[in-house]
Structures are given as structure tokens and as C-alpha cells.
Structure 1
């Protein structure tokens, strides 16, 4: 009986997965794999929130989130190199130029290694001089603990930024599911460690930091050895292949991504700092719970959208505009489906928070949830167009929008909080408005390039 009903299903699945162009087949297989892996990642990230809050309490969890956000600001020292590598690697591989691909990989590792080793050394020198309790507006009793936590998180950050180049290569090769698997394994180990800490120790920010930082580094080290000894052996980083002259082309493309990244960092990573200073650490926790809850929508949507970046690079290079138009149409239909799911999540958000975190753990008002839902709805709408434009390196308009958006975001936040006396939800509202590129300019640029076949400014 099982075989009777299972066989037709398996047969249909195989036909569906193997139907279409090669890049479509590859994308569908990666999406299916990513759904399973990302589903596990989402589940673990949701489990980690109540586990860590109960371990260190809501205030300390807010401190952890704020420190992580401050450290993440240093990601702009990447200067867009990994995003530049993603496009350059995809182009070199599509053209069969393995030599150039290996040079780009080796040079990226070398440049990032130099940058983040210097940064790490400077931070360790400056960190003892910083008054963290004053920076975060928290009790001086936390000062020494936060200082040590900052050193742990920054060390992790510098290491993982270098080691994560391998995930950029995997994603550029249109296999984002494999890259997601690396993160998933790190999450599983972190969850196990925190589970042990809850049972054996008293709540500590230091132990929490070690648990969430060490496991991903171990997994990334293993991934580098595994992939560069196997599938990507041809592109294994080598000192003899480091050519700083090639770094110029990575910088040229990467510098534009760099500005775009800064805009993202200012908008997304400054939120916790702004909330901590204007409202308090507990409100940081509330904001991040809503962000994680509705962020599930964006994470799920990105499973489908991630392969589109590198696939767009190949399709546009080969002049296959019909495939791009068809893909965007399918993503728009999927987008509507996700918005309906988000509306359902919004209606039952209060009940879910209680079930998820426990009665009385947090008290999140409906307005914060509503604006969290609207924010991620706008993000999902714009992401498909932005991914396409990133894939074909049409970044000029996004570049100029990114220069404007951080100032607009900060100005709006200041206006909403100081003059209109709006709550934490104002950060979501400011982010929506500041992200005008995603929901206005990027769709327009896609239309002009693909539908109207325009070049000039639109294709730069």
C-alpha cells in the first residue's frame, strides 16, 4: 500500500526536479535541500531565544544583542570583497577560467586575512579603555563582564569573516543549500552547548558568548578543509596564487557593494544601540523577538531567492532574458503567498509569543508586531529585484540610494522618537521608508533593463 501511493509521488518529484534548463534544475534542487536545512535552522534559532533568555535573563540577553550589533559594524572593513568575489567567481567559472577563479579566491583570503588581523589587534588594545556600561547605558556592575564578552565576540567575528569565504564560493556556484548546511551544523552544536550550560552553570554572558561563538568557528574550519580538499580543490587558496593586482577588480566591484553594506549596517545593526540608549535593554529583547518571529518569513523567502543571484549572472551573460522574466513572475506569486502567511502570523502573534517564550516572559504590544510584519513584507518584495541587479552588477542606482538611505533612516528615527514620541516600532517604520530602493528604484530598474531593454544608467 505504501509503495502504491509513494511511488507516483516520487516519480512526480523526480520529473519536476529534472524538468527545465540546467540552471533551473540546479536551483530547484538547492531550494528543496535548503527548505529542509533552513527549516531546521529556523527551529533552532527559535529554541535558542527562550533558552538564552531564561539562562541570562531579558536584560542581559538585550546586552548580548547590543554588543553583537556594535561588533557587526566592523563588517564594513570587508569593503564588499566577498560580494565582489561572488560575482567574479561565478563569471570565471561560467567562462571555464579556473585559473582566474583560484586567483580571486586566494587574493580574497589574503586581503581579508590582513585586514581583520590588524583590526583584531587594534581592538584588543583599545577594548580595556572603553567604558561599556556608559556606552550601553547599563549598570557599572556589568562593565567587566561586557568588556570580556566584547573581546570574545570580536575575536569570533574576525575569524568567521575570513573563514566564511568558502560559503561565498559555494553560493556563487549556485549551491546555497550546502552553505546553509554549514551554518546549521554550527547552530546545532551551539544549542547543545547552551543546553548543557543551562543544566550545569549559573547564567553568564561570558559562557553564552563562548557557546555561540566557538561552535560556528570549529564548523567553518572543518568546512574549509572539506571543500578545498574535495569539490573545490581546483580553487584552493594558495600563497603562490595571491595576486594583489587582481584585488583591484575585486575592489572596483566590491567598493560599490561596500557602500551598500554600510547602509545596511547602519540601518539594521544600529537599531539595538538606538533602542538600548532611548528605551532600555529589555526593549532590545522585545524588538529582536518580533524581528526573529517575522524574520522567519524573510528567511524562508530567501531560501527561494538566494540561487537567483548567481543564476542571474549566468543567464544575463548568455542573453537568456526570458528565463529571468519567468523567474521574477514566479517569485511575485510566491511573494503574495508569503504575505498571506505573514498576516496569519500577525493575527496569532500574541498567542505564539506566550507559547514560545512562556507566560509573562515578555510583553510585546501589537503595534510592534504589525510594523515588524510590514517591514519584512516590504523587504521580501524588493529582494528579488535587488538580487537580480546584484547578480548582473547593475549597482550604480543602488549605490546612490545607499548613500542617502542611512541619513534618511537616522533622521526619521530621531524625528519619530524625539518629536513624535513614538515607540520602538518607529525603527521598523523608518527602515521601510529608508529602503526606498528596494520597493521603488530596484523594480523600476529591472523593468527598464529586462522589459524595455534599456542600457546606459540602468545597466551600470
Structure 2
């Protein structure tokens, strides 16, 4: 018994130091480091919100949230390449196929540039002719609002062009390094916002510049450093761009694209629905509640994110026993994290008082429905990470697209005919999460059966080769 305990302790310590090269060891290392980095990142995000509310009033901050959320649709223009590249890197690195990795990396950057550069130019040309005050139902200075939108658009576009470096780190199961980049991107705007809160009150343009342009600089520096050192053998080059060889990447990416566009559509339209039906201050209430309850999901996702590429690796090597054991472990974690959300609900009033003071009221009914929604998300997010890792995205893309199409009609129906207010949005998204959870569980069963058949077929082929030799 003592020998087993010592052996387990040595294995755990090895995973923390990185000397354990097993799949579980890599996952454990990523989880431990990522927890520390994400804790700092979450604290930074909460401070950013607090000082942003000092820089802008509640209504103007709500408009800022609506702007950033609306422009976030630009994320879909990478046509799912970031997630597709992540899976392909994990698969190629498992098989040590670095030549294919270089082709896919180069092709990804080339496609993103070809998409984003024309889109940025078109948006900048059209922006001056749009009545943005009418779009966002507000009365801000027209020029400041327009320049804010242009700054947010260009900043987010450049971030997505530079995003593949994070996908490469994730695919190489170095999630902690990708989280390090995200942390620096989140922290870098904080100091300018603190200064702005004191000397530039009311400047929504200043907030936009700090929040979107500084992360671009951070991502550019990290990309140059990593491609000149650790990833020199797969660094992007014009000669390696080959769209024909990258067909499998684009096929997988398109499926991720469908899922991505559906999710962004729901998130971005949510802010607009609230603004147009209830006003900018209600966007702030909804957004702060969403951020508050998302903490448990963010913490769990630190674990889930480390398993995504590990699942890809395991499926590539037909290690199905590891897949099953990991699914059981992750579902147990989801049950444990439910307790965190319950505690959050019980402490919401004192926490909000410390966080944002008495500026933002906390509707109890919305707080309850939001807590239930995030509890449901704990389980669906756990299941979907297995599907993402497997790369079998057809069912997920179909289901998410259908729910996105139904989202606005259902929300407006609940608002206008049942007068549910903010709760209408939470109830609608909860329905989609329940439907998705049922479908994801069924799909995992199909994936596992198909993988077992492939593993059996591979075993038969290997046996035939041995007999022939």
C-alpha cells in the first residue's frame, strides 16, 4: 500500500515538473500552470470592469458592451481555422508529421490575411456613412462613436490574424503558454484604463483603443519570438502555402466555423435585443451577471481546454480506454463545480456591493435563472470538448445552427407575449443548452463505437502483416 502511494506521489510530482511525458502528465502540467494564470486573468478582468465603470457611466458602458459584442461577429471570418488548426497540429504532432504542420500553418495565415485585409478596408470605407447612434439606440457624439467602432473592428481583426499562434500552442498541448499570452493580453489594457478613469472620464474611444489595440501588440511579439525559436520548423512561409494539401484542414475548419458563427450570432444579438427592448443600462446588468456566474465555467474550462488536444491525440492513437476514463473524470468535476455556482448565488449581493457598489441592481429572478443556465453549461461544455477533440463536427454544427436560427424569434416571443424581461434571454439559451446536451451525449456514443471499429480493423491489418512476414 505504501509503495503504491509513493509511486502515485512521484507520478503526480513528475507531471507538475513536466518530466512525465505521458498524455495524463501533460494534461496535469497544463492544468496546474493554467489555473494560476487564469486566476490572475480573471482578477484582471474584474478590475478592468470596475475601472471601466469609473471611466464611463452605466449607460455608456452598456453601449460599449453592445459595440464590442456586435463587432465580435468578425471572429467568424476566420472560418473556423483556429480550431481546425488546433486539431490538425495535435494530430500531426502525435504522428510527428512536421512537414504537413508547416503547410497548414502557412496556409492558415495566408487565408486569414486574404480575408481580413479586404474586410477591414471595406468597413473603414463604409463606417462614415452609417448612422451608428440609430443602430445602437443612443445619443453619443457621432464622430467618437464611429472612431470607436473602427478601432474595435480593426483591433479584433488583427487579433484574429495573429490568433493561430495560440492554436499551435494548444495543439502541441502547451495550453499554459497559450493562457500566458491571453493573460498578458488581458492585463495590458488595465493600466491605461486606470489612468483614463482618473483623467479621461467618459471617453469610450480611449477604452476601445486600450481594450483592442494593446492585445494586438502583445500577440505580435509572442508570434515573432515563438516562430523564431521553438516552432522554427513549422514557421509560416509563402513557399509553404498550399491550399490543395490543406483540404482536410479546411473541411474540419468549416465545421468549426458553423458552430462558431452560431455562437457568436447568439451572443452578439443578445446585447442588441437588450439594448433595443430595455436600454443600455440593462445590458450592463445582464453582462455583469453573466460575467459573475461564468467564473465557475471559466475555472472548469481551464481543465477542459487541456483535454481538447489530448482527446485529439488519444483518438489519433486509438487510446480509447484513456478517452473513457477522462470523460468519467470530467463529468465528476462538472458535478463538483455545481457547488461553486450555488455558493456564488448565495453570495451575489455582498460580492456585487464590493465589486461595483450600488450602481447596478441585482434582479433575483434573473440571478436564479442565470445560475441554472451556467450549471447546465458545465455538463454540455464537458461533453462538447470530447466531440471537438474527435474532430467529428457534423452533428454539432447542425444542432448549433438550428438553435441560432430559432434564438431571436423565441426570445422576442417570450419578451413581447410573456413579458419575461431579461429572463427571456436566459430561458431561451437554457433550452438550447438542454437540447445540445442530449445530442452531444448521443454523438459521443456514436464516435466511440466508430473508433472501436477502426481500432479493431487496424488490429486485424497489423495481425495480417505479422503473419505475412
Give the TM-score of the pair, scaled to structure 1. 0.93
How far apart in 2 are the matches of 1:66 and 1:142? 16
Change (3 A) 1:345 1:187: same
Q: How far off its partner does 1:12 sit?
A: 8.6
The residue aligned with 2:414 is: 416
- 2: distance between equivalents of 1:390 and 1:449? 11
SS for the counterpart of 2:242 is coil
C-alpha contact 2:132 2:142 (8 A) present in aligned 1: yes
Deviations along 1:187-242, one digit per CA (max 9) or x if unpaired, are 22211111122233232001111111222111101110111011111111111111
What's the counterpart of residue 6 of structure 1?
none
Question: How far, CA to CA, are the matches of 1:372 and 1:154 in structure 2?
Answer: 29
Query: What 5-or-longer segments of structure 1 have no aligned partner?
Result: 1-9
Cα deviation for residue 256 of structure 1 reads: 1.2
Q: How does 1:299-314 map to 2 (within 5 A)?
A: 299-314=298-313
Q: Aligned runs of 1:69-88 on 2, under 5 Å?
A: 69-88=69-88
Q: Map 1:290-305 to 2 at 5 A.
A: 290-305=289-304
Matching of residues 268-279 of structure 1 within 5 Å: 268-279=267-278
The Cα of 1:82 is off from its aligned counterpart by 1.5
The equivalent of 1:66 in structure 2 is: 66
Q: Distance in 1 between matches of 2:79 and 2:367?
A: 34
Aligned-partner Cα distance in 2 for 1:275–1:355: 25
Deviations 1:347-402 (A, max 9, x none): 111121111111x2111211111122112111110112111111111112112212
Contact 1:276-1:283 within 8 A present in 2 as well: yes
Q: Is the 8 A contact 2:262 2:404 kept in 1?
A: yes
Aligned to 2:185: 186
In 2: Cα distance, 1:72 partner to 1:336 partner: 31
Following TM superposition, by how much is the alpha carbon of 1:437 offset from its aligned partner in structure 2, in angstroms?
Answer: 4.9
What are the equivalent positions in structure 2 for 1:420-435 lying under 5 Å apart? 420-435=418-433
Which residue of structure 2 aligns with residue 334 of structure 1?
333
Q: Measure, in 2, the Cα distance between the counterparts of 1:266 and 1:142.
A: 27
The equivalent of 2:166 in structure 1 is 167
Q: Which moved more, 1:342-351 or 1:185-194?
A: 185-194
Q: Is the 2:55–2:198 contact (alpha carbons within 8 Å) kept by the matching residues of 1?
A: no
SS at 1:174 equivalent: coil
Two-structure CA RMSD over aligned residues (Å): 2.0
- Once the two structures are overlaid, the 10-residue window that deviates more, 33-42 or 444-453, is 444-453
* Aligned equivalents of 1:13, 1:366: Cα separation in 2: 43
- Corresponding residue number in structure 2 for 1:214: 213
1:146 is displaced (CA, Å) by: 1.3
Q: Which has the higher mean CA deviation after the structures are superposed, 349-358 or 26-35?
A: 349-358
Q: Does structure 2 conserve the Cα–Cα contact (< 8 Å) formed by 1:385 and 1:438? A: no
Q: Structure 2: 5+ residue runs without aligned partners?
A: 1-8, 455-469
2:129 alignment partner in structure 1: 129
Paired position in structure 1 for 2:112:
112
Distance 1:277 1:246 in 2: 47
Partners of 2:365 and 2:452 in 1: CA distance: 42
Count of equivalent residues: 446
In 2 relative to 1, CA 175–21 (structure 1 residues): closer, same or farther, beyond 3 Å? Answer: closer
TM-fit CA distance, 1:451: 6.9
- Contact in 2 for aligned 1:405/1:435 (Cα 8 Å): no
C-alpha distance in structure 2 between counterparts of 1:339 and 1:405, whole Å:
25
Q: Who is 1:5 aligned against?
A: none
Residues 453 and 113 (structure 1 numbering): CA distance in 2 closer, same or farther, change over 3 Å?
closer
Partner of 1:32: 32
Matched, 1:391 2:382: no
Q: Does the aligned pair in 1 maintain the 2:132–2:145 contact within 8 Å?
A: yes
Quote the offset at 1:298 in angstroms: 1.1
In structure 1, the residue matched to 2:199 is 200
- Aligned equivalent of 2:352: 353
What secondary structure is seen at the aligned counterpart in 2 of 1:126?
Answer: helix
Contact 1:448–1:454 (Cα < 8 Å) also in 2: no
Distance change >3 Å, CA 453–CA 255, structure 1 → 2: closer
- CA shift at 1:340, angstroms? 0.5
Secondary structure, in 3 states, of the residue corresponding to 1:423? Answer: coil
In the TM superposition, residue 19 of structure 1 has moved relative to its aligned partner by: 9.6
Distance (Å, rounded) in 1 between the aligned partners of 2:355 and 2:330: 30
Deviation at 1:449, TM superposition (A): 3.4
Matched, 1:318 2:317: yes
Shift of 1:453: 6.6
Distance in 1 between residues matched to 2:263 and 2:449, nearest whole Å: 29
Change (3 A) 1:56 1:241: same
Deviation at 1:452, TM superposition (A): 9.0
Q: Is this contact kept in 2: 1:449–1:455, CA < 8 A?
A: no
1:281 aligns with 2:276: no
What is the CA distance between 1:274 and its match in structure 2?
0.8
1:42 — aligned with what? 42
Residue 314 of structure 1 deviates from its aligned partner by 1.1
- Aligned 8 A contact 1:381 1:438 in 2: no
Query: Alpha-carbon deviations, 1:413-454, whole Å to 9, x = none?
Result: 011111111111221111111234531111122134337977
Q: Equivalents in 2 of 1:229, 1:453: separation in Å?
A: 38
